[in-house]
Each structure stands twice: as structure tokens, then as C-alpha cells.
Structure 1
Amino acid sequence: MYRNGRVGGSLKRWRRHGIWLGAVAVTGTVLFVAQRGGELDETASLTAVLGFGLSAIGLAVNLWRESAASERADETSSLERLQQLADRLASAVQEQWQAEWRLRRLQDPSPLQVQWSPAEAWLVDESDGTGQAAESEDQLEGVSAAFDAVPSRRIVVLGSPGSGKTVLAVRFTLDRLAHRASGDPVPVVFPLSGWQPERERLRDWMATYLRTTYPGAHWSRELLHASLVLPVLDGLDEMPESSWGAALHRLNAELDPGQGVLLTCRTQTYAKAVETGDVFTQAAVIELQPLAFASASGYLVRTARPVRGADGQRTTLWDPVLAHLRAHADTPLGRALRLVLSTPLMVAMARAVYGDTGKDPADLLEERFADPAVLEQHLLEAFVPAAFTDSPYAERARDWLGYLAASMQRRSTRRLAWWQLRLELPWPLRRLGPILLLGCAAVVLSTVMALARGVFTEGLWTPASDLPLVMSVFIGGVCLGYLALSGRPAAVRAGAWEGRQVARDVLFLAATAALAGMAVGFTTHTDLTTGSWSLPITFGDMGSLAMAAACGLATATALAVLGIVGDPFPLYTPLARRPLVRAVVIVLLTALLALLVTSIFSLPLTWSAVAAALAAVLVAAGLYDRQSSAAGAASPPAAGRRRRRRLLRALLRGLTAGLLAGLCLGSAFGIAAATTLSIRGARHADFPHGTPHRLPDGTRYVITADGWRHGLHSDGDRYLRTPGPVDGVVEEYEDGTRYARAAASLDEATRCSADRCTPFHGPIELHVRKPDEYPEIRLPNGTYADDYDLVDRLPPARSRDWLLTAPPSALFGIMMDLALTVGVALGLVSGLTSAIHTWLVSPADTARAVSPQAGLRTDRTTAITRGVTLTVLSYLITTGLVILPIGSERESGYLLFALLPWLFVGPLAICLSAWGWFLVTRLWLSTTGRLPWHLMDFLDEAHERGVLRQAGATYEFRHARLQEHLAASTQQQSLLQT
């Protein structure tokens, strides 16, 4: 223990020393560069440098003090930690279901009391006597005592639809929580409608449900393994019939002896499940009994609005109706009403429709309600309008809720998750909605820019470039890549490519990249000898369109490496927590401040980026040390080791996925583009038509009919000699550069703005010495100058193409260099960014019940923060690769070109989040009139009025019968309208 504490303290001391050294390094770098620039003599510059140094030192001191104070956090054992986590989960569950209990008004004045009795003997496993029958009780709280009386601590609660099974399960949960001691299991209600027992193990499904319902509970699996969760499995009947037997088999096979469980199910469903499968072993089975008419009538009278009687006594509108039922109990209408009011659900519906609104229940005495099914349909249909009587949504609430219910029925689910509403979009929007929305915005913006450029440069209302077309093709490339890569299962962790899916993705990337490479090779210019190291394409031609499609494919690949593909899911991560958001903002502002300070001295971009990166790392290290030390979830050495292992795993996975995708993309694209381009270049390699000549030094040349001499030196130098004299001027500057440009006359040649201008008159030669260099001009006096505009203005098009076209081998090498450099750079940036992103966005170690609105706000904050973080990380990593000594300026330009896809990765990461998808979904559904624009406000009001119930970050209808009725009536109306 002492040694571990000593090692942990040593690590923290070295971390603090690193902060100090970082501050000294940044300050020393700025001082050194400023001294070399000779700018420390200026008072303003010296003040800025000293201020920056003092600020860095002061920041280091404050971080050291905060870090030292946080080291005094208490250490807790693993068992104590699990108990603390269980206590947090218990608080979250209790807060959730107490709120639901109040919203359902089950405490106003008191819940309906139901009775139960032992179920039929053939439904009970009594092989060892552990599943003995529970005694009947008149109180809901009695189910907890009955649960403790069963030796196996397993109970199955059966009943008819609407008999109160879910209410009993909630009451059981609240009662266990009210009497729970620290360390006892936490009862959690699990709706079985979302479980697929044929595919998922029970423990895995419960862990997933805990993580999604109680955001941040990434330790849910630990609680399940420690038996600190008491499953309350609600609604076996809500699963597909084919899953009933498999569910019971899973329960019998996977639950440990002594693991307490409460299971609810409809009586007929459980009987069929037992017939086709097996009983729930060692479980007591009880069946809820219908409500007595006296209990139901007494409840309706107590909850109805009081009315003054003839003699001033208290009466209600229900009294004459109930008196009629007592007097005519044997009539068909009386039997139907008494039968319907024997279920707690229908009693609650009758209270909401007639008791809460003051509507006269005498309507129920109509003869048409002699059929119990008609009466139930009437109460279910009238419930929603009654609940929204005084709401601004009263007119459309029934239609909107019916649409949601029908949508949930089609997907066979009971959970209304806002991030799954995108499944209601048409196919193109369901797969590409946010990308298309962002693409439309980008095309519109590029069109406005093009029009503005045309107005200011040409004075005409015409586009000055093909930027909108190029942007459209780029979005098409992103869509193509995303459609294929999003078909794989959604990655839980960024960059998690597993199994055979990797091979499928790699083959797709290779095929599409090869097609894009062939398109680029066929359409791009072959004049790579002009020294255009960034991209040998003239903007606006077919080559730019092909390269835009390839760039879109690269962007989709980066999204796949990051794991931002597939089904969206809300993010509940530390990035969405306010302290970390502030930390990210502080780091970014620090980097910006460093850039501003270094810009005072007009430093190169490389030095500015180094200073900004060092300052950002310095502040991030201090903030991260403070927060990680204050966590105190485990001992500092163990927590540090876990973080380092997690970072190493993230780096390994991220770099593996990134480099695999980048190399695959770059190699396939490069081979296809280089081969196609070199074949095209070979067509221009021969001399134009004419008589060849050879000089003693090995130079070969051809003079064409128009008098131009096309020459090729033995060292590969190509040149063109003009057929006659040329008027021009040589402009010389202080830095020694010389440019030769054309002039209409000698008088024009004498007018120039350079430091020194020298006119010339005579024949000249246009030279291209190497495939990657700019053309040079051999002047009449035998000296050389760089070309300004002579190559573009003087030779005919065929001669100019011959001069500027590189040899096929050079074309192949240059294009492969471009493709592999960009591919490897894209892979490195994607892999490193994915690793850091994975390391930073682990779920927070907190558990609290959040509303769907809170989940939406959290996901929005997380998405925006993640987009900004990805953009900054990719920029810093790419800048770091650019400043490395890689050999030539051309490779640096290729790396800068690799940054282009990342300009869109950040915005796309925001748009492809669950919040981004919900924004597109809400826009479409509100425009078509299916749902309101303020959807979350409407759902929240439906929850407050008792139509919906909240299940963590999702909603459910109050009862499955209500959802089924609304869905069926909505589908029937749709059929009638069509």
C-alpha cells in the first residue's frame, strides 16, 4: 500500500513538474523567436512576451495547488464503491417511479386495492417446494411481504388485461426502495417488450437497458454480476408470441439460485408459454382477481366532483348511474358495465373521462354499451380528449398520439424513443437525412458565394465558378460512402471494426476508390510539370468533380473510423457535462490566445501552431489532472493504470482501423488514377508531326509548320523555341526572384511596378527541366527567369500540352505519391483522432434519472462539443504532420490536402448525432402535419396529463391497451382516407 501510494505521488509530482516545464518551454520558445527576430527592443512586444510568461507561470501555480488539494480525496474499496453505485441507482429509480406514481394520481386519494390468489397448480413449479403459493392480500404493499415469504424469492404475477399488474410491480418497487438498506439489491422495472431472448442474453439486455434508461450507468454490468439489482420484469405478454418460450428458457437457464425476480404476465399468455415451453422454476405464481363492484363504485364516487343534493347533502353524478346498476344488475347493460368496471384500467379511464371533466356518466346507460367491447372502446377513445380538455393541443392531440401509437405498433415496441422516430422518414431521409440537409445548406451557400463573386468581378448576375456543382458532387460521394459503411452494425466504440465486416468495408472502399481514381485519371490534366504540388486539377473542370467525389468518399471513411455511422444513439458522456465543456472552452481559448500572442511577432505558421499546441496541452493536462484526481472512484494508481490501458487500447484500435482504411483508400485510388493518367500521358510523349533533327550533344528537336521548335535534351529537359522575336520584360525584386512576362511593346515593357525592370526583344525558349518544377524562360541574352505568363500566352495549345506533359513514369509516380501520402495522412489523422475521441468520451460515472428532454439537451451539447473537438484535434494532428521534416514542399501540400475531408467531419459529426437526426425528423414530420414542431413539449404535456409514462429517457403509453386502440383506430382512418 505504501509503495503504491508512493508511486502514485511520484507520478503526480512528475505531472506537476511537466506543467512547470511546459510553461517554461512555451515562454522560452517565444522569447527565443522574438530575440532572433530582433523585436524585443520594442516595449509592446517585450510586455506581451513577459505577460504571456507570467500568465503561464501563474496558471501552472494554480493548477499545482488545485491538484495538490485534490490528492486528499478519500479512497474507497471495490465493495464500498459498488454499494455507492447501487445507492445512486436506487435514488434514480425511486425518483423516476415516485414521479410516475404522482402523475397517474394513484395516491389521490389512494390506489385501487386488488386481491390475488394462488394460480392453477399446473402453472407452478413445486418440484422442491420452493415455489409455494403466496397468501392473498388486500393491500398492494402486501406483495413485498409475499415476496419475502417465498423461499426462492421468485414471484410470477398473472392477471387479465388492465388488471393492475404494472401498478402492482411499481408499488412493489417503491415499497422495496422505501425499506431498502445500504447494500441490498435495487429493484428495477424492466419492460420486457424490448427484449429479444432468441438473440440476447438476459444479463446483457438488462445491462443495456440500465445504460440507456439511467444515462451514465456504464457500470451496470458490475452491479448485475454482484447481484445488486432485483429485476422486476414487466409484461411478458408484450413480447412476440414466438419469444414467450425462449424467454422462460433464458430465465431458467441464466438466473442464479437465490436471485430474486418478479415477473408479470397475462394469464392466457403465461399458460400458452408453459404449454409450449416450461414453467418458471422455483417461482410462486399468483393471479390478480377482478375488482369487486363495491370497490370500483366506491372509488369512482370518492374521485368524482361533488354535487349538491336536494337536501344539501354531498352527491356525485356517478350515484344515480351506480344505483341503476345495482337495481338492474342482471340486465345485459348492467352485466356489461359491472364486467368492464372490474378492471382497474377501465375504472381509471372512467374516472378520467367522467370524474375529472365533470361530464355526466349517464351516457353509459345507453343500450349500445351492452356489449363490453363497445364500452371499453368508448372509454379508451374518450380518454385522450378528456385528458387534453384544457390544453392548446386539444384539437390535434388525438391524431398526433394515434400516429405515434401506430408507428410503435409497426416496430413492435412499447418504448417511444425520440432518437428512433427517424424510422418514420422516407427511405432517402431515413438513411441520409442529416447529410442531405447539410449538403443543401452547403450548396446554397456556395451558390451565393459564386453569385457574389460573379457580381463583384464581372458586373453580371452569373456564377463565376462551378463551386455549387463541385459541392453537390462532394455530397454525393459522402452519401455513397455512408450508405455502404453505415450498413454494418453500429460501433459501440469509435473505430471498432470487428469480424467479417472489416473485409466487406475494405472491399467496398477499394472498389469505390478505384472507380474514383479512374475518373480522376481520365479527367484531370496531365500538366503536372507546372509544379502544382497540391492538386493537378483546374477548378471547375471534370477532374475537379471526380476529385470532389473521391474527397467525399474519404470523408465517409473518416466517419466510419470514428464510429459515427449506423443507427444514432443519444450520447451521455463527460463531454456533455458542464465542467468538461468549460474545460474544452478554456483549452481552445488558450490555444487561440497563444496564436494571437505569437502573431504579434509575425512568426511563421509552424511556430504559431507549436506554441498554441503546447499551451493547449499544458492547460488540458492541468485540468484533466484536477478532475481525474477528484473522481476518487478507486485508488489513484489503479485509476491511472486503467486510464493508460484504455488509452493504449484506443490508440491500437484507432490506428489499426484508420491506417487500414487510409492505405486501402489511397492504394486503390492511386493505382487506378496513376495508371489511367500515365496511359493518357504516353499519348503526348512523342514529338508533334515534323522532321526530327539531332544535335551533337544528344538534343533532339522538331520544327512544326507554324515555326515552333520542340526540343528534348538528353537530360530530359524539354523546351519550346519561338519562331520569331518576342517583346517582354524581366521584373526583378529585392529577394532575387526574376519573372519574365509578355509585353505588347517596348514602351509597355518600360512601365512596371517591380524594383527593377529590364525589357527584352528577341527569340526565347520555354524550358521545363523536371516534372515537378515550374517552367523557366531562356532570355535572348542566355540568362533564365521564372515564367509569369509567357507559357500561357505564346505557344499554341498542342505545343503547350507537349511541353507541360510529364513522362508517363513521372505521372505515375506523382499521382501515387499524392494518393499514398493523402491516404496515410488521412489514416493517421483518423486513427489518432478516433483514439483520443474514444478515450475522452467514456460515460460519466454518475447515475440519475433524466427526462427525455434532458437527454435531448445533453445529446445536443455532447454533439456540438464533439464536433468542435474533432475539428480541433484533426487540425492539430494534421498541423503536427505538416511541420515534420518530410522532405519536400509537395508532400506538405499533399498533407494539407488530406485536411480537406476533415473540414466536413466536424459538422457531419454534429448532424449525424441523435440530436441531428431528431432535428431532421421533426422538420419532416411537422411539415407534413403528422406531429407538432414542439414535439418534446407536447410529449411532456401528455406525460403530465397521464397519457404517457416516463421510462428513463423514453416514454411509454399509459397502458398497452391504450396504445393498441389508438394505433388500430389511426390505421383504420388511414385506410378509409385512401
Structure 2
Amino acid sequence: MCGTLCGVAAEYEIHNHSSGPAGTNVQFGVNKGTIWFVGSPARSSAEDAREGRLRDLAAEVRSACDRELEKWGLRDRDALPVRWHTATDDLFDHWTKIQDDGAPVSLDGRFTTIRHTYETVESRRLVILGRAGAGKTVLAHRLILDLLTNNPTGPVPVLFSLGDWNPATELRAWLAEHLARDFLFLDTPDVAGKKLAEVFVERGLILPVLDGFDEIPADHHPSAIRQISTLDLPLILTSRPGEYSRAAHEIKAIGGAAAITLEDLTLDETHQYLRQSTGKRRGPAWDAVFNQLRTAPDEPANRNLTAMLTMPLMVMLARTVYNDNQGLDPGELLNIERFPTAMALEDHLLDAYLTTVYTRRTRRTNWDSDQARRWLGYIATHLTQRDTHDLTWWNLPATLHRRSRILITTVVVGLAVGIVYGLAVRPAIGPLVGLTAGITVGIAVGPVGGLAVGLTNEVGFSRGPTGREPERLRLSLRRRAPKSLSWLPRKRSVSEFTSGVAVGVGLGLGYGLAFGLALALGGEIGIGIAIALTFGITIGIAIGIANGLAGVVVSAFGDAYDLHATDPWTLLNRDRTITLARTAAAAVLTMALVVGIATGIGLETARGLLFGLGFGLVIAPVRLAFSAWGSWLLFTRLWLPLTCRLPWRLKRFLVDAYDRGVLRRAGSAYQFRHARLRDHLAAQGQS
């Protein structure tokens, strides 16, 4: 029998019962009493789904790390010989909180043994310290890749850039929020109603790799140490030594964490690396440089260059500039008049690096290194002012001043309202009258409605430094995420309603004022004002209801599951699709409500339909202005290129910069390859 077994022995009147998972049960002879078959409980479909999403996350993280290391040219055979030693005792917690037996252990190692070093720490909490350009982030990527390859059943290591974390926000919540942002398939709900990202963090299924403790503002370091210490999870943290040391001395080292300090490269290691990463005919040029450094180490030029060539970042730049560009002689690095300081040498390498990588022409690019440097400088300045390293397409409108955004929105939306309304009424009342009506509406409604849109839209920017967040849904008639009422974006619907009411009142008052002005010119001032107020408030509420309902209707057909939606441009495409769907839904609902209102107040059917069609079409540019994609179109694709601050084909430019290695990817955000490159470009952009 399969499943539950019942045996009956007539002469003994004994019943046997088997309880447990389905299987094959065999009974021999006569058994007295109850027989219990105890087995492991069957796995639920929810557990299977959760495990599948965890495997998906591991695959996405592995692919991203593999891609980054490949772009940096850091495979085992050509990796820099980065080494480290056990940090000083004051940067550790007590050994009794790190190792089970409390005995100190050596954590010394090199690039290819980072996993062994990490697994030597029994608490699985490790701090990686190193000066700027020492290779902390690269080493973190290597550790992530090694852990995923050699420990596939452990928690999934995920890199988080701490520069965007304010310790006023609880760390677990921040980790879950960034997981959901960068891996959209974790933005779906679990059976309990929580997002999968929250469940994974709470259950310890994520190994946080916290990159850039030093990028947190200094006054927040103590509270950051406290929060990280109370995070009861294995973790990895990277930082510059000075910032972490000051915080550790002021408060304490991170609880349960060991620490390692990255060492500088030696001249011999750098010499061998640069010689082996170029052709044999190029090697003697580097030999001459290093012979000079060894012969007279105290000369200022030699001292400056030696300091620079012990930093992995600068060595990588030197390889790109001089080994990939046969027209340059590395001997020029010893010119003390041209490069009087080590900083001057670094700035030269950064400039030469950009020139070198943008000298390589491709079919899809039509910009030179000077243009690229100017545009990258504008982006770097924006990131520096926001004190962040994350560049997302939806935060670029925030590079403009608030007054500029309001003015641009007012003008563009005002023009769009007038043109759209004129086109809508033109077939119904004739070309000339329709055009006149459109101009009249544009003059009367456009400025009022446009200003209402601009001011209301600005609320989205004032809520945070990044402006409006993109939509996280994918339209699908068959949702793959679990259905839950809590999943519907109710907050967004409320926001859409209030924004719609504010803009609708502006549009309605503008139209009502135009109509009331016509009556006032005929001597009926009181009637004109009454009509303007009544019309404005009524239409405002109607547009607000339409906006709110449009959000709910579209969300009902939305699905946040998309395994590969970690690419920023997938997010852009998704936001565009959802925005257009919401716009269409809002236009239809607005038209229906306005027609109903017009009919209810006694207007003839033709005029009611005309009002409905006009306002239904007018809501389209308004609704677009309220979206991340609409802001991208208006500010990033139109105004910033028009003022020569960004290229016309920004998406192509950013993808190209990533392909050239100038930018790297961190989830759905781009980052400059190194903070030093960002700061260098920002300084040039401000000069």
C-alpha cells in the first residue's frame, strides 16, 4: 500500500496505523498496537519557490562578479599579487568572540587565497582594510565569486555599497530595500506577505558584503559601527584604515569581526607585472624605469613614482596607458618638471587613461575623449555633490536646480496641454475654431496647469535625493508572483490621487477661468467666478480619482517577477511600459468621469463628449510628467543634451563607458571604476 496503511487482524481485533509521508509500507505478520512511520515532513511549494529564487540570486550575483573581474582583467593568471597581513589587535574584537577556542590565528594571504582567509575566521565576520586604490572592492568581488563556486549551499554573498546608507535607517531594512531594488524578482511577496528580499535577510540567507565604510559621513561612523555590530549575520566589510580605525577607537571594533590589512605592492612585483602584461619588445622600456627607481630611490621624481607604483589601481592604469598605447614612453613618468608631485602623477595617469580608452573607436560611438571627459565630469560632479557613488538613470534629473525643473515642466506641459486640446477639439468644431480654442486653452490652462504639475512633481524630488523611483512591475495577464492584497501599491495609488487632484484643480481652474473670463467680458463676473471654482474643483477631483484608479487597475495586471531585470535599462523599459499603460488608463477614466460630470450638470451630449475627450487627452502629458520615464525624457534626454551637459544618446554613452571599463555595475546602478576617478573628473568639471 502507499500512503496510510491500516492492517486488521480479525482474531486479535488489532488495528495498525501508519502516519508519515507517502511511500511504500509493508506489514509482516500481526503487529500489536499502533505503528508510526516517522519521516521528514514534505517540503511546501513555498519553500521550493523560495529556494529557487535563492538559486536565481546566486546565479545573477555570480554572473555580475565574473563580468566585473573579466572587465578589470583580473583572472588568476594575470591578477596583481595583492597580499595582506593580520591587522593590529586594536582593530579586532576579542578572539573569544571570533574563534570557538579563543586562540589567535594568522590571517595572512594573497589574492587567490582570500576564501581560505575568510573561512579561517570561525565567526565568518571579516573586515578588509586598505588605502585608496589598494584593491579592496576587487578583492571583495573575488571572495564573492570563490564563495559561490566552492560553497553553493551557503548564504548568497551580495555586494552593498555603503555610501548610500544613512545609519538612521535600520540596516536590515536597508539591505532588504537594496536587494529588492537591484534584483527585482526579490521584490515579490512571500506567502506571509513580506517581500522575498526581507525574508532572505531575516533568515540569514544573504551574506552582506558591505563595501566602503569610509564613504559613510564621518559623523555617522559611530552609529554605523553599532548597527553593523548588532547585525547577527556573517558579513564582510571593506574600508580605508584611517576611517575604520578612528571609529573603532572611539566606539569599538565591529562585534565578532577579525580584520586584515592590504599591503602595498613591492617594486619587484610591479615590475614583473608590467613587464609580463606587455610585448617582449616593450619590456626594456619598463626595465629602464625600474632600474632608475632602484638606483636612486631618494631622488624626488623616483620617490614620487615609487609611491604611485605600489598602488594596485595606479599600476592597472599604467598598464592600460603605456602597455596598450605603443606611442607613449613610460620613461616620461620620471620627468620631475612635468610631474613635481605624486598627485600630479596620479592626475596624469587618470587623464591619460581616459584618453587611451576613448581613442579606441567603435561603430556605435561618435564622441572623442574631450567630449567624454566633459560629460563624465558633469556626472561625477553630480555624484560628488550628492556624496554617493551610485549613478542611476532616474536620479539624473536631480542634477538640475529645483527652479529649473519647475520652469521647464511648466513650459513643456503648458505647451503640450494647449496643443493636445486643440487637436482634440479641432475635428468637432472645425479647424479654425479648434485651433483658436487650442491656443486659448494653451494660454489660459497651460501656465496654470503646467505650474501645478511642476510644483506637484517637485514633491517627488523633495522626498529624496534621487527623484522619482522607476516602476517595478511587468505587465502580465498571468502573474507569477503570489497574489496578495498587500502587494498592490496602495501608497502609490494614494499619491497618484492627491497629485491628480492638485493638478486637476489647476487644469480645471485654468479652463474655468478662461470660460469665466469670457462671461465676465459680457458683464457676468459673478457667474464666471462661480463657474471657474466649481469647474476647477469638480474636474480636479475627477482627475484625482482617475489617476488613483489607473494605478490600481494597471497594478492588478502587474508582475514583479523578472529574473534578469537587474540591468538598469531593463528597468527603464519596464517603467516606460507601465507608465504608458497608466497614462492610457488615466486618460480613459478621466474621459469617462468628465463625460459623466458634464452630462450630470445638463450639458448636451456632443459638448460633454468634447469636454471628456479634451481632458482625457490633456491628462496624458500630465501623467507622463509624474513618472520616472517622463522625467528622463524631459530633463535627461531633452534639456541636459540641449544645454550640452550630457550627450543626446546617454544610454549608449553609459553602456559604452561601462564596456570601456570607465564605469562598473552595482546592481541597477553604475559607478565609476574607482572613487579616485570620480573625484578627479569632478575636480576638472568644477574648474
CA shift, 1:338, in A, is 2.2
CA spacing shift, 1:98–1:812, aligned 2, 3 Å = closer
Task: Please give the alpha-carbon distance, in whole angstroms, between the structure 2 residues aligned to 1:86 and 1:943.
Answer: 27
Q: Equivalent residues in 2 for 1:663-682 (5 A)? A: none
**TM value normalised by structure 2:** 0.79
Task: Please give the alpha-carbon distance, in whole angstroms, between the structure 1 residues aligned to 2:378 and 2:680.
Answer: 12
Task: Please give the alpha-carbon distance, in whole angstroms, between the structure 2 residues aligned to 1:812 and 1:657.
Answer: 28
For the pair 1:350 / 2:318, whether they are aligned, the reply is yes
CA spacing shift, 1:299–1:887, aligned 2, 3 Å = closer
Partner of residue 95 from structure 1, selected from 63, 69, 72: 63
Q: Equivalent residues in 2 for 1:460-479 (5 A)? A: 465=436, 467-479=438-450
- Offset from partner CA, 1:449-491 (integer Å, 9 cap, x none): 9999999869xxxx97353242133122223333443454679
Identity of aligned residues (%): 30
CA shift, 1:957, in A, is 0.7
CA shift, 1:435, in A, is 5.2
CA shift, 1:896, in A, is 7.7
State the partner residue of 1:104.
Answer: 72
For the pair 1:121 / 2:89, whether they are aligned, the reply is yes
CA shift, 1:353, in A, is 1.2
Extract unaligned runs of 5+ from structure 2. Answer: 1-41, 188-195, 362-366
Contact 1:822 1:894 in 2 (8 A): no
Task: Please give the alpha-carbon distance, in whole angstroms, between the structure 2 residues aligned to 1:657 and 1:454.
Answer: 33
Task: Please give the alpha-carbon distance, in whole angstroms, between the structure 2 residues aligned to 1:331 and 1:656.
Answer: 66
For the pair 1:947 / 2:665, whether they are aligned, the reply is no
Contact 2:389 2:672 in 1 (8 A): yes
CA spacing shift, 1:878–1:237, aligned 2, 3 Å = same
Contact 1:435 1:908 in 2 (8 A): no
State the partner residue of 1:415.
Answer: 390
Task: Please give the alpha-carbon distance, in whole angstroms, between the structure 2 residues aligned to 1:828 and 1:487.
Answer: 21
State the partner residue of 1:224.
Answer: 201
Task: Please give the alpha-carbon distance, in whole angstroms, between the structure 2 residues aligned to 1:443 and 1:823.
Answer: 18
Contact 1:192 1:234 in 2 (8 A): yes
Larger radius of gyration: 1
Task: Please give the alpha-carbon distance, in whole angstroms, between the structure 1 residues aligned to 2:630 and 2:532.
Answer: 38
- Offset from partner CA, 1:808-859 (integer Å, 9 cap, x none): 9x99999998677656645544443343234344x51233254333333333
CA spacing shift, 1:171–1:456, aligned 2, 3 Å = closer
Question: Counterpart of 2:388 in 1: which secondary structure?
Answer: coil
For the pair 1:966 / 2:643, whether they are aligned, the reply is no
Partner of residue 553 from structure 2, selected from 828, 836, 841: 836
Q: Equivalent residues in 2 for 1:305-454 (5 A)? A: 305-307=279-281, 315-358=283-326, 359-368=328-337, 369=339, 371-391=341-361, 392-431=367-406, 433-434=408-409, 436-443=411-418
State the partner residue of 1:185.
Answer: 155
* Aligned partner letter, 1:422: P
Task: Please give the alpha-carbon distance, in whole angstroms, between the structure 2 residues aligned to 1:659 and 1:389.
Answer: 51
Partner of residue 250 from structure 1, selected from 227, 230, 234: 227
CA shift, 1:281, in A, is 1.0
* Aligned partner letter, 1:237: D
Contact 2:397 2:467 in 1 (8 A): no
Q: Equivalent residues in 2 for 1:468-617 (5 A)? A: 468-486=439-457, 488=459, 567-575=467-475, 580=476
State the partner residue of 1:685.
Answer: none
Q: Equivalent residues in 2 for 1:471-870 (5 A)? A: 471-486=442-457, 488=459, 567-575=467-475, 580=476, 624=477, 627-628=478-479, 631=480, 639=483, 642-643=484-485, 650=490, 658=497, 822=539, 825-826=542-543, 828-841=545-558, 844-848=560-564, 850-870=566-586
Contact 2:417 2:621 in 1 (8 A): no
More RCO (CA 8 Å, sep 6+)? 1
Q: Equivalent residues in 2 for 1:851-930 (5 A)? A: 851-875=567-591, 897=611, 900-920=614-634, 921-930=636-645
State the partner residue of 1:43.
Answer: none
Question: Counterpart of 2:638 in 1: which secondary structure?
Answer: helix
CA shift, 1:382, in A, is 1.8
State the partner residue of 1:285.
Answer: 259
CA shift, 1:168, in A, is 0.8
CA spacing shift, 1:882–1:464, aligned 2, 3 Å = closer
CA shift, 1:378, in A, is 2.0
Contact 1:231 1:262 in 2 (8 A): yes
* Aligned partner letter, 1:835: V
Contact 1:850 1:952 in 2 (8 A): yes
**TM value normalised by structure 1:** 0.57
State the partner residue of 2:238.
Answer: 264
* Aligned partner letter, 2:291: A
Extract unaligned runs of 5+ from structure 1. Answer: 1-73, 309-314, 493-565, 581-623, 682-796, 973-978
State the partner residue of 2:39.
Answer: none
Answer with 411-420 or 479-488: which moved more: 479-488
Task: Please give the alpha-carbon distance, in whole angstroms, between the structure 2 residues aligned to 1:143 and 1:846.
Answer: 33
CA spacing shift, 1:226–1:906, aligned 2, 3 Å = farther
Task: Please give the alpha-carbon distance, in whole angstroms, between the structure 1 residues aligned to 2:71 and 2:85.
Answer: 29
Task: Please give the alpha-carbon distance, in whole angstroms, between the structure 1 residues aligned to 2:404 and 2:673.
Answer: 31
Task: Please give the alpha-carbon distance, in whole angstroms, between the structure 2 residues aligned to 1:574 and 1:331.
Answer: 63
Task: Please give the alpha-carbon distance, in whole angstroms, between the structure 2 residues aligned to 1:110 and 1:344.
Answer: 13
Contact 1:417 1:954 in 2 (8 A): yes
Task: Please give the alpha-carbon distance, in whole angstroms, between the structure 2 residues aligned to 1:862 and 1:491.
Answer: 23
Contact 1:158 1:264 in 2 (8 A): yes
CA spacing shift, 1:464–1:400, aligned 2, 3 Å = closer
* Aligned partner letter, 1:858: R
CA shift, 1:134, in A, is 5.5
CA shift, 1:923, in A, is 2.2
CA shift, 1:417, in A, is 1.6
Task: Please give the alpha-carbon distance, in whole angstroms, between the structure 2 residues aligned to 1:657 and 1:904.
Answer: 16
CA spacing shift, 1:901–1:107, aligned 2, 3 Å = same
Contact 2:398 2:467 in 1 (8 A): no
Question: Counterpart of 2:82 in 1: which secondary structure?
Answer: coil
CA shift, 1:428, in A, is 3.7
Q: How many residues align?
A: 618
Question: Counterpart of 1:160 in 2: which secondary structure?
Answer: coil
Task: Please give the alpha-carbon distance, in whole angstroms, between the structure 2 residues aligned to 1:970 and 1:943.
Answer: 20
CA shift, 1:194, in A, is 0.9
Partner of residue 300 from structure 1, selected from 274, 286, 290: 274
Contact 2:504 2:544 in 1 (8 A): no
CA spacing shift, 1:953–1:298, aligned 2, 3 Å = same
* Aligned partner letter, 2:468: P
CA shift, 1:436, in A, is 3.0
State the partner residue of 1:234.
Answer: 211
State the partner residue of 1:196.
Answer: 166
Structure 1 vs Structure 2 CA RMSD: 4.2
Answer with 360-369 or 406-415: which moved more: 360-369
